[in-house]
Structure 1
Amino acid sequence: MLPRSIQLPSFTYIGGRQPDGVARLFFLSFTLISAHHMGSHDQHTAPAVRQTPWMTEDLGMFQETVRRFIERELAPNEARWADQGYIDREVWRRAGQIGLLCASIPEEYGGGGGTFAHEAVITQEMSRAVCTSLGNNVHSGIVAHYLLNYGTEAQKKKWLPQMASGEMVAAIAMSEPGAGSDLKAIRTRAVREQTENGDCYRINGAKTFITNGYHADLVCVVAKTDPEAGSRGVSLVMVETRDLPGFRRGRILEKIGQKGQDTAELFFDDVLVPCANLLGTQEGQGFYQLMQQLPQERMIIALGAVATMQRAIELTTEYVRQRKVFGQPLADLQNTRFKLAECKTVATIAATFVDDCMLRLMDGKLDAATAAMAKWWCTQQNCQVIDECLQLHGGYGYMLEYPIARMYANARVSKIFGGSNEIMKELVARTL
């Protein structure tokens, strides 16, 4: 390995107070731009430590557990899962055994008894490792919290322990062939009727782009219970899919990136489920429930974007120090240093903003517009940073054997799911 002529400040998650943001940005940019060619190749700058304000000692230990699981169970199998289009079912159970599933769900329902910060740690570690096959963000960070916040006591006791153990895999079915960000345009119907088994909903419709769709045993279906009531006619109904007449899975969809994470079509043809599976106290609460929970989903996306761009910078820094062009390390070229300085600055700003959003979320003060800002801006910057890093890899950056190429492919969808970035900007604009 070539001698290191420039030491980029690394980010380390530790407890403590947040350094002054403006001072940090000036220091980072100055270090990146001017540390090299000031003397011999033996010169080093002391690594700067970025302190994450919401991290604790307990979260640090949990982080190590997550890293070990990723190194042992996920990373070695990502390529195989990408080829087959879905993760091995047993991995869900192993994740449940060590407490990675439903980490923020109370212990009384089988969860880890943690906070959203535990979900954030999992999201960031998986993003750093370029491991996208385990759809835990949907399972634990989204569906489990719909149940926790809107489910009856019976529903929570029935389903959450099975989700926490990995016995059940959960999905949420929002998108349809003709409805994506416009949830009021969904056509899936849930009609109440009396059957020999009691009050049931008869569900008819098609869903697409459903994460965890191939394995899902429990699906939170977004359906119209009153098609004449607009947004007030939307309800959430929990559907257990095992041996369920009328339910079928369609294709596992072939995607640009995140190839090992099963994304499937789901079809409901006269599917009957008990009316007791309705989430909430009455029909028509679904749109409100979705709007209340989407900020958390968008924070998960923003957290992953920040971790990914940080890791992309680290990988690229290592690469340009080793790669020689015109008889010298690529890191010696001013363009390289300037590009990395720009990327590092953007990543620092993004991390600082998301940390502030995290603190607000944990205090119950994160509003929808701020979450939308975090989602659209961090995902857009992530794609830009990865693109710059890929460019510095040259032709090798286009090869899937290099993590930067997989990051590039994986990141693109983040500007679409969880509400497109255009919708996010509209949500922000409405507050002006």
Structure 2
Amino acid sequence: MELNSNQMFVTSLLAWYWEHKRELPWREDRNPYKIWVSEIMLQQTRVEAVRSYFEKFMEIFPTVQDLAEATEQEVLKAWEGLGYYSRARNLHKAAKKIILEHSGIMPNDYFLLRSLPGIGEYTAGAIMSIAYNQSFPAVDGNALRVFSRLYCIFEDITKNKTKTIITKIVTGDIPEGFASDFNQSIMDLGSNICIPRTPRCDVCPISSYCLAYQEGQQTALPIKSNNRRQKPVMVASALVYQDNRLLLEQRSSDLLANMWQLPSVECEDEEQGWMLLEEKLIQQVPNARLTKHVITHGEHIFSHLHWYLKVYKVELREDTDYTDYIYEKIPTYLSDEDYTTSSMKWITLCDIDKYPMPKIFLTMLERTRPSLKGGENSEF
């Protein structure tokens, strides 16, 4: 391996990686499909959380063909709990495109990869380098942190200008023929050694080459401007339950499009939420009475929103049966004064596992009833 003077750290880094690399299910081979799925899952999600989801996903969809032939509901159900569901929808769309346009073979061309839904610069670089061992950078948060310290770069890593500078440095440091191991070694170093607040410089294999460490600036880097705060949003939801059946809603667009959830409205305050939710229920389920009794409540943080959710009890007349009805294209108020449409459907509790639901609503249901898999006579 021939290295220039600026790359001498690479030998030490790779030696460390080959001895200490993490055993991960997508590293068992260089299968491009597995690497693609893992990289999409790893966006916004920690490795420890992804492992079990990845193994389950591969059992259900072992090939691109299997993923492409699945329904969106099946894909969302397999993704349930990981959050950021647009990742799953884009994965599904991209799989279909790979079947139609690339004969079911994952492209080994950077620009063809970029043309697939949900694949940006980082993911394309990761696939090209890890799966195909081509010299493409894969610059994520770990790489930005490692290289800002290694080269003592006092620039804000959230800025595009800084990302461009570091990407150029990473590209120049990739050793010929070792792109796959190099990029993965940076990932492992950033995850286990060169961590955000308390870097473990005493066990770092490249500390002797690190300019920030030499100058005692390792804890001052990277420079990172404050993250955008999540917008607070109040959500009012209704628990509508009759004869072991639960009323669920599926929205056609918005943050949780095509997922199933409790009938809900987003609102500016508690009183408005209750009124909007009551109006929504009256239109669809006459004789349903929304009480002001809050059964449970919770919070959930998305990338840009902070939900404060309350679940209200609904009372139904015992002699009225709506459980055969399906309600479609219901206007639903959103917090930005916009509307989406939704459908509602009664489902039996024994079938609830067939419907993909966001984690926040699963949590609310679990709090409301001891087990979602209770018997036919289980009560909320």
For Structure 1 versus Structure 2, the TM-score category normalised by the shorter chain is under 0.3
Larger radius of gyration between Structure 1 and Structure 2: 2
Q: What TM-score comes out, normalization by structure 1 length?
A: 0.24
